[in-house]
Structure formats: C-alpha cells, structure tokens
Amino acid sequence: MSKITFLGAGSTVFAKNVLGDCLMTPALQGFEIALFDIDHERLQDSANMLNNIKKTSGSTSVIKSYTDRKEALKGAKYVVNAIQVGGYDPCTITDFEIPKKYGLRQTIADTVGIGGIFRNLRTIPVMLDFAADIREVCPDALFLNYTNPMAVLTNVMNTYGGVRTVGLCHSVQACIPELFKSLGMEKEGVKAKIAGINHMAWLLEVTKDGVDLYPEIKKRAIEKQKEKHKDMVRFEMMLKFGHYITESSEHNAEYHPYFIKRNYPELIDRFNIPLDEYPRRCVNQISRWKQMREDLVNDANLTHERSHEYASYIFEAIETDVPFKIGGNVMNTGLITNLPREACVEVPCLVDRNGVTPTYVGDLPPQLAALNRTNINTQLLTIEAAITRKRDHIYHAAMLDPHTSAELSMDDIVAMCDELIEAHGSWLPEFS
C-alpha cells in the first residue's frame, strides 16, 4: 500500500483541502493517509473529518493517525508539511508586539521581515529533524512544503536536509483569477507566465489570442486606484515597476520599504494597509473554531469537492504519467539567470512520472530581479544564522531586510533582535 504522510495534520481545514482532494482522486485510491501532529486532540479531529469524507465519497483509502512521527513517515512515498512552530500564542504575538515597541509595524510577518526571520529560526530545527527521519525511513519520498516562510524552509530542506523538496503556495494559481475579477476582465483563454520568488513572483507575460493584455490591465488599474480597494499595494507596484505580483497587498506592503513608514503615516490610509492583519486573523479563526469543528468533525455527512491545491494533482500526475503544470518553489539551478544560484525560486514546473521538473526562465526584467534580491539577501542570511547558530547573522538578516532597515537604526535592530531572542526562550536554539 502506497502512503501519503501529512505532518501538521491538526491543521484541520487545510487537511480537508489537501487530503480531501486525495480521497477524491481515482489514482490515489487504496493509499494509506498517515496523519501526524503533536496536538493529539486536533489530530483526532482531522482523522474523524477525513473518515467522514471517506464514507461519503466511497474512497478506498485508509486513514491512520500516528503519535510517533517516524512511524508516520515510515515507507511514505509522499510527505506533506503544514506545521506552524510556536503558534499564535506565544510566538506570533511576540513577533508582532516586540517590534511594535521599536516603532516597526507589520501586517502578516510570516515570510521576510523581522517576523519572518524569527519564524524561520524556530521552524528550521524542526524541519531538519523531519529531514533526519525521512532520510532514515523514507529516503525516496517527495516532500511537499506548504509551511511559511516558504522560500527559506524549502531551501533548507533541499540544501541541508538532503530531502527532495518542492514548496507550494496558493498565490500562483490565484494570481490571474483574482486580478481579472478585480478589474472586471474575462480570464477564460488567458495565457500567463509567472516566475520570481515565493510571494514575490511576477506576472511576466499575460496574453489572449496572442494579444498582450498588460496595456488594458494597467489602464484599468489606474482607474481602480482612484478609489480604496484591498489590492492597492500590488497595483502601485505594478504601475511603478511594470509587472503584477502574485501575493496579496497585505503581504507585499511589508516586503518593500515604500509603504509602512512611521514618518509618513498617511501611506497606511492611502494604500489601505491592514496593520496587524495576521494576529487579527488568528483571533478570528480561534473564535470561529468551535463552530467550524462542529461543521467539519462531527458531520457524518460531510462532503468534499476537489480544491485548487496542487498536492493531489502532483501525486496524480506522478502516479498516472499524465503531465500537469504547477508553479513550484525549487532551488535555482540556473533557472532564473539573474538571481543567485543558492536561492529558492518559484517557476513553472512540469510534473509527470519523472517527478517535478522545473523549467528554464532566463533573466527577469532587471528591476524585478533587483526587488527579488532585496528579499533573497535576508533569506540567505537567515539560513546562515540557523545553520551556524551565530547571533551576528540574525542581526545581518534583519539589517538587510528592506522594511526593517528603512525604519530602524542598526543599534535598534540589534536591540530588537536581542529582545526577540530572549522572549522566544526555548522556542529557539542557542546562538553564540
């Protein structure tokens, strides 16, 4: 029996999408769906939910929960990762509240920026533990990483973990539908080419019947910017730098030095930037969980429709040898020629029985590559800090972050990092 292992299976809503999709996929029938989470109550919730879907769908897959991670991984052909180390309380709160004392405001704080750096530092050791188990009990497994910070964690698993890893994000497949809906344009028949880095990949080409749609997109974007809407940062970046970005405006507001500025508070209102957005989402999700749990876990008639998540389509393409195209996060083996080779990049990939094969992109437009490199700098220094356990590299990563360095002095950045290290306590390893 082939096996799909899901690490972080207590993420019940996300497990419904990814594993519910697998239960609905003919090529994946008869697989074992192995669930692992350190929260045993949430683990059981997810098992109950998936068994409900199994019953209503008629799937022949077997749902099995594990409290031993190595046993969950043993013999797996595919591994899906969706963990969050430290959760909302205490770690997410810490990532927001301490920088706020220094005047540094954030929106999501899960990719780069000071919040992204510390999320990486507490997650990388756990991921490397996963990698050690995988090398021992399922060394040929394909590891699909859904956990943020995507680029760094996918890089670490490939470079230091010795595990065949592809990072997956929702933003690529959502890019065209969201943009065209926002502008009142018809997306049917549209061809697009997207590449860059995770959360800052670029809509490089967008055509229909051979006609470049960018002139019409920008014309409509100029009009849309005259009124408040939720995507003002991305539209501003497109109008200034020439290309649309895959990830949302609340994310991109904190990836650049232009939008969240203490000395220009009017920018927050002008670009409709939701400060402290991620903690707000966490609080809302926690408050809604009781009802969601009732709907998902205790509904014996629960059904599922296959979602747009890539995982089941990747498994299906490998099992059937029917090709499928994804946007995947992979190591830059010369794929994007004006970004560092040691970086993780997001590019079109072909999936078939041979696995996930990235495609060559070449040079990005120079201004886009330059913007990507500002974030890659922080990513690579964060990895250096995590692997060497040198505190100085944490400072370097923070001082090179575009938003952090635009707002704080070097002394304040060092002091803030020291305070964050102390506050995280045992969530972080020791740094010298």
Q: Dig out the tokens for 392 from the structure.
A: 């100085």
- List, by residue number, the catalytic residues: 170
Whether 402 and 377 have beta carbons less than 8 Å apart is answered as no
Residue 345 C-alpha from the chain's centroid: 12
Whether 269 and 260 have beta carbons less than 8 Å apart is answered as no
From the list 242, 234, 244, 199, the residue with the least C-alpha distance to 376 is: 199
Q: How far apart are CA 126 and CA 86, in angstroms?
A: 11
Query: Residue 409: which residues within 8 A CB-CB, separation 6 or more?
Result: none
Q: How far apart are CA 54 and CA 275, in angstroms?
A: 40
Q: How far apart are CA 88 and CA 99, in angstroms?
A: 16
Whether 178 and 196 have beta carbons less than 8 Å apart is answered as no
Query: ∠ CA 124-168-68 to the nearest 5 degrees?
Result: 50
Q: How far apart are CA 375 and CA 255, in angstroms?
A: 7
Q: How far apart are CA 285 and CA 93, in angstroms?
A: 15
Return the amino acid letter for 241. Answer: F
Length of the chain, please? Answer: 432
Query: Residue 206: which residues within 8 A CB-CB, separation 6 or more?
Result: 176, 190, 191, 192, 193, 212, 213, 214, 217, 244
Return the amino acid letter for 336. Answer: I
Q: How far apart are CA 265 and CA 267, in angstroms?
A: 5
Q: Dig out the tokens for 95 from the structure.
A: 């990532």
Q: How far apart are CA 403 and CA 413, in angstroms?
A: 12
Pinpoint the alpha helices (H) of 255-365.
266-270, 277-297, 311-320
Task: Report strand pairing: 355-358 vs 344-352.
Answer: antiparallel
Whether 40 and 9 have beta carbons less than 8 Å apart is answered as no
H/E segment holding residue 391: helix 391-400
